[in-house]
Amino acid sequence: MKKLILSLFIAIATFSFSQNVGINGTGAAPATSAMLDVVSTTSGMLIPRMTTLQRTAIGAPANGLLVFDTNLGCVYMYLTSTGAWRSMCDSYGPFYSETTTLFNPVATTLKTLVVTTAAATDRVLIEAEFDYSKNATASYVAIGLFRNGVEIHEVAKYSVANADNSIKLTWVDVPGAGAQTYTLRYYLGAGAITTFYGSNLVATVLP
């Protein structure tokens, strides 16, 4: 009898995984283009929740991998094209993120801070934001994160003309032991920034 039940379970499981799966309260068939179709008007869907340290420790994350970062309070997606995690909380896209110098935003320094790390393996969580208003000329605007004068990360976006814009940057750095000077700079592709609403640069040494 146990063998029969086990065989039946395996048969059902195989059928379920070989077909589109629908989760709903009506019994409606799932969309044919979706492997998993979840329908609800009263509940949401939870993806894996983890700290920033746990997220950045994932080995060889798959392209499009999604997690909820409990430290930063945001959903992050991994992009193999940039080799970095992309925050889904960023607004006024599109954005891209680079670990190499693309725009080399050395024109204007926004913020500078010094962080002292005790061990060579210490991780430093960097969070930065630049809020501004653009004139009639739309263009790319980039913010770059520098450590001890060398750019280590950059985020850029195509800024909307005659509108308020915001760029956010999140990066986990392993600088080694000692005092580290972090600088946030911006580069303007074309046109002018009419209003500087402010910028922020925060560093946290992760446990």
Q: What averages of pLDDT result for each successive group of 10 residues across the chain (207 residues)?
A: 48 49 85 86 91 90 91 83 72 40 61 91 88 84 90 84 86 90 87 85 83
Determine, yes or no, domain membership for 109.
yes
CATH number at residue 135: 2.60.120.40
Determine, yes or no, domain membership for 55.
no
Round to whole Å and give the CA distance between 141 and 188.
5
Backbone angles phi, psi at 109, to 5 degrees: -90, 130
Cis peptide upstream of residue 94 (ω within 30 degrees of 0): yes
The owner of tokens 């003309």 is: 161
Question: From residue 78, how far is each of 48, 71, 98, 172, 190 by CA, in Å?
Answer: 14, 17, 13, 14, 30
Determine, yes or no, domain membership for 188.
yes
Determine, yes or no, domain membership for 192.
yes
Domain shared by 9 and 99, yes or no: no
Long-range CB contacts for residues 145-150, cutoff 8 Å, separation at least 24: 145/169, 145/171, 145/182, 145/183, 145/184, 146/182, 146/183, 146/184, 146/185, 147/173, 147/175, 147/180, 147/181, 147/182, 147/183, 148/180, 148/181, 149/181, 149/183
Domain shared by 94 and 34, yes or no: no
Determine, yes or no, domain membership for 43.
no
Q: Whole-model pTM above 0.85?
A: no
Domain shared by 98 and 185, yes or no: yes
pLDDT value at residue 83: 77
pLDDT value at residue 15: 40
Query: Taking the CA of residue 193 as centre, how many other CA atoms within 13 Å lie in the half-sphere pointing to its CB?
Result: 20
Determine, yes or no, domain membership for 132.
yes
**53 within 8 A of 124, measured Cβ to Cβ:** no
Domain shared by 26 and 125, yes or no: no
Determine, yes or no, domain membership for 63.
no
Six-digit token string for 169? 């940057």
pLDDT value at residue 21: 86
Domain enclosing residue 31, as ranges: 2-38
Domain shared by 26 and 100, yes or no: no
Instruction: Report the number of distinct structural domains present in the chain.
Output: 2
**Nearest partner of 131 among 112, 149, 111, judged by Cα:** 111
Determine, yes or no, domain membership for 118.
yes
Round to whole Å and give the CA distance between 118 and 178.
6
**169 within 8 A of 143, measured Cβ to Cβ:** yes
Which amino acid, one-letter code, is at 132?
A: Y
Question: How many other CB atoms sit within 10 Å of the CB of residue 89?
Answer: 13
**Nearest partner of 92 among 190, 185, 168, judged by Cα:** 168
Domain shared by 106 and 176, yes or no: yes
pLDDT value at residue 98: 43
Contacts of 80 (CB under 8 A, 6+ apart): 62, 63
